Amino acid sequence: MYKKALQPLIDNSTVILIMGTMAGEQSIAKQQYYANKGNLFWKIMFAIFEEEFSDLYEDRKALLTKYKIGLWNVLQSCKREGSSDACNYRRNDKRF
């Protein structure tokens, strides 16, 4: 099945860019990075910065912005089954 990457979470203040391969099924469906409840990314980020954890995506994006962190995928799109990283792909070639 053909999958299209999420838009980058990047702005002019971004200093650190965390790159993933491609968003998983749940992330694509919700249009949210690391949306799978089993993924510990957000819990780890809140813990690193000693901030109170939030399930709200707007709070999560605000945390990244506060610490000048951006998120983006290496792939622009791919054809794959489920959330596997094994796929036919098209890489992102956008320059910042």
Edge-to-edge order in the sheet of strand 75-79: 2-4, 75-79, 88-91
91 backbone dihedrals φ, ψ, rounded to 5°: -80, 155
Overall residue count recorded for the chain in this entry? 96
Catalytic entry in 12, 36, 39, 73:
39
39 labelled catalytic: yes
Centroid of chain to Cα 23: 6
Which of the residues are catalytic?
Answer: 39
